[in-house]
Amino acid sequence: MKRAITLVNKSGGSFTEGIAERIGEALVAAGVDSEIMLVEGKDCAARAADHVKKGAELIIAAGGDGTMGSVAGELAGSKAVMGIMPLGTLNHFARDLGIRFDIAEAAKVIAQAKTRKVDIAEVNGHTFINNASIGLYPLMVMDRDGQRKRLGRSKRLAMLVASLRTMARFHSRRLTLSTDGGEAKVDTPLLFVGNNDYQVALPSAGRREALDDGELCVMVMRSKSLPGFLAAIGRALIGIKRREEMVRVSGVKELKVDSPRSHLSVAMDGETVSLKPPLVFRIRPGALNVIAPA
């Protein structure tokens, strides 16, 4: 029977009473002997790092995308393999790997042990598995999290309110972007940096076809007014591309972002951090060993 360590984020929004027992039972039924550990979200990275140092071969992350990113950052570059138990609201990483949002099904995938190497990305030492952004979205995330702490609102309701309030305070950021192709100064309400290429048009908006192409997905929104911004988003979703509204930079492996501000708020996999510029985004090709469906 395969042995593993399972880190369950007990402070995640989708954590419920008895879920650790359900995960343990599903893993045993699938043929995986795992020690189940309940961990605070802020401690997931440290606990994963400890087990990597102890020589753990399989570490299962149970939580949302923030949990996956924390654990992945510690496993990247090591021989340890990461198992995915999606418990979050959106589970973008699990979805793009083809893992179903079901505990029993995820356990079966882990038991099959089909390992593949995927890319991760980082900015100033902080790992992200999905995407990072500067501008409007980090403000929405901070507002959302504040509502949830103060008012106990659901994640979806808090995000809706945060979106409306952030749009009412619409503004751009002055940034200097540098890649191998040169340097450009831009005023943008939103800079998006993805771990591999993201689709924009419906019905596949927000999805990735590959996690091992070894490139960052860089998109710069150019519309400086709220009506123009919303119109540009709408056109992008139906597949109408206008370079004056959104610039997409291809073939990027490293991106430097500078700003006259002392710190920039960056949203990464649904969490926010404040970082001192310049920010250096990098792709780490094939750095993570992860179990995914064949």
pLDDT digits (tens, 9 = 90+) for 240-289: 877 778 899 989 999 999 999 999 999 999 889 999 999 999 999 999 99
Q: Tell me the pLDDT tens digit for each residue of 166-222.
A: 787 878 889 999 998 789 999 999 999 999 999 988 888 899 999 999 999 999 998
Q: What CA–CA distance (Å, rounded) separates 85 from 79?
A: 20
The CATH number linked to 197 is: 2.60.200.40
Residue 208 has a pLDDT of: 96
Per the structure, the complete domain to which residue 221 belongs is given by 128-284
132, 215: one domain: yes
How many domains does one find in the chain? 2
132, 90: one domain: no
Boundary of a domain, candidates 81, 113, 145: 113
135, 101: one domain: no
Select from 241, 286, 10, 267 the least CA-distant residue to 128. 267
Residue 149 has a pLDDT of: 81
Residue 16 has a pLDDT of: 81
Residue 93 has a pLDDT of: 97
Q: If you average pLDDT over residues 101-117, what whole number do you get?
A: 95
Judged against a pLDDT cut of 70, whether residue 1 lies above it is answered with: no
147, 278: one domain: yes
109, 136: one domain: no
> In Å, what is the CA distance from 227 to each residue of 167, 187, 240, 267?
10, 16, 17, 23
Q: CB within 8 A of 208, min separation 6: which ones?
A: 96, 194, 195, 196, 197, 198, 199
In a domain, 272, yes or no: yes
Judged against a pLDDT cut of 90, whether residue 230 lies above it is answered with: no
Look at 24-28, 39-43, 224-228 and tell me which has the smallest mean pLDDT.
224-228
pTM above 0.85, yes or no: yes
133, 108: one domain: no
Residue 241 has a pLDDT of: 79
148, 272: one domain: yes
Question: What is the chain's mean pLDDT, rounded?
Answer: 91
Task: Please tell me the number of Cα atoms within 13 Å of 150 on its side-chain side.
Answer: 7
Position 28 confidence tier, pLDDT thresholds 50, 70, 90 = very high
